[in-house]
Amino acid sequence: MIVDGVPLYRQIKADLLEQIKSGQLAPGERIESELELMARYGVSRATVRQALGQLVAEGYLEIRRGLGTYVATPKLEQGLGGFYSFSREIERLGMRPGTRVLGVRLEPATRTVAAALGLPLETPVVALRRLRLADDEPLVAETSYLPAARFPGLAERDFSRRRLYDTLLADYGVRPARAHEVFEPVLLTTEEASLLGKHRGDPALVVERTAFDTTMQPIEFCRSVVRSDRVRYFVDLGEAQA
C-alpha cells in the first residue's frame, strides 16, 4: 500500500524487507523482476531500482548475473577477539564443516613465506592447500605453509580427516598460542573463482595469518581467500582509554 508523504522507493524497500524478515521471501529465493515489481507497485523502473539497490547494498538481496535478483543467504560472522579455528567456528554456528584437500607437498619458501616464518629464502616448507566448506558450500580457499624441518613427515598426513592444529599438537607437541592477521580486499582470480563457485573479478577478502607457538616462534603462514558475500568479520572493542 502506497503511503502519501513517504518516498516510493522507501515504501517498496520496507515492504520487501518485511517479506524477507518474516520468511515470506526465503534465502536463495528469486524475487520478482523489475517489470513485475513496477506493475505491482505502479512505479517507474528507476524507483524499483533505487529500492533494490539499497537492499543489495545492505546485504539483503544479491544480483546473480544473467539470472535475476535473489534473497541473500545470511553471512557467517567470525569474531576476531581471540584465536579461532574455521572448523570449530562452523560447528558452533550449527553447520557441518568440511575440508577438501587440494594438495600437500614440499616447496621452496618464497620471499613472502620466508619472511613470515623467519626462514632463509627457498628453505623447504610444507604447503597444504585446502578448500573449506560449510554444509558443502565452498567458503574459503587457503594455503598453509609450515617449516618442513620442524615438522618432519607432515606432508604425509591425511588432512581430509585431521585438523592441522590438532595434528601439530598430537604429533609434534606444538600449540599455536598467538597469531597476527592482515586483511585485504581483492578481486578473485580465475582459479580462485573456480574453487569458490564465483566469477573472476568478484570481490573477496584475503586474510594472511602468521601463527606463533608458546615461545613466539612462527610455525605457520596461511593465506586464505574468503568469500566476502558469505563471511564477515567483527571486532568487539573495550572502553576507550585517554
Look at residue 156 in the predicted model and tell me its pLDDT.
94
Contacts of 94 (CB under 8 A, 6+ apart): none
Percentage of residues in the chain with pLDDT exceeding 90?
Answer: 69
Question: Which residue type sits at 129?
Answer: R
Closest alpha carbon to 141 in 149, 151, 133, 153? 133
What mean pLDDT value characterizes the chain?
90
CA distance 194 to 228: 15
Look at residue 193 in the predicted model and tell me its pLDDT.
97
Per-residue pLDDT, averaged over 185-204, amounts to 95
C-beta atoms surrounding 34 within 10 Å: 14
CATH code, residues 76-234: 3.40.1410.10
Percentage of residues in the chain with pLDDT exceeding 70?
Answer: 94
CA distance 39 to 54: 20
* Residue 163 near residue 220 (C-beta atoms within 8 A): no
Closest alpha carbon to 222 in 236, 240, 209? 209
Q: To the nearest 10°, report the CA torsion of 226, 230, 231, 232.
A: 120
Confidence of residue 3 (pLDDT cuts 50, 70, 90): low
Q: Where along the chain do its domains lie?
A: 8-71, 76-234
Look at residue 59 in the predicted model and tell me its pLDDT.
81
Look at residue 2 in the predicted model and tell me its pLDDT.
58
β-bridge mates for residue 101, sequence order: 130
C-beta atoms surrounding 108 within 10 Å: 12
Look at residue 75 in the predicted model and tell me its pLDDT.
73
Look at residue 242 in the predicted model and tell me its pLDDT.
59
β-bridge mates for residue 128, sequence order: 104, 144
Between residues 122 and 135, which one has the greater pLDDT?
A: 122
DSSP string of 73-138, one letter each residue: PPPEEEE-SS---HHHHHHHTT--EEEEEEEEEEEE--HHHHHHHT--TT-EEEEEEEEEEETTEE
CATH C-level class of 8-71: mainly alpha
Per-residue pLDDT, averaged over 27-37, amounts to 92
CA distance 124 to 105: 10
Between residues 76 and 204, which one has the greater pLDDT?
A: 204
Global confidence as pTM: 0.74
pLDDT digits (tens, 9 = 90+) for 82-109: 666 777 778 877 778 889 999 999 999 9
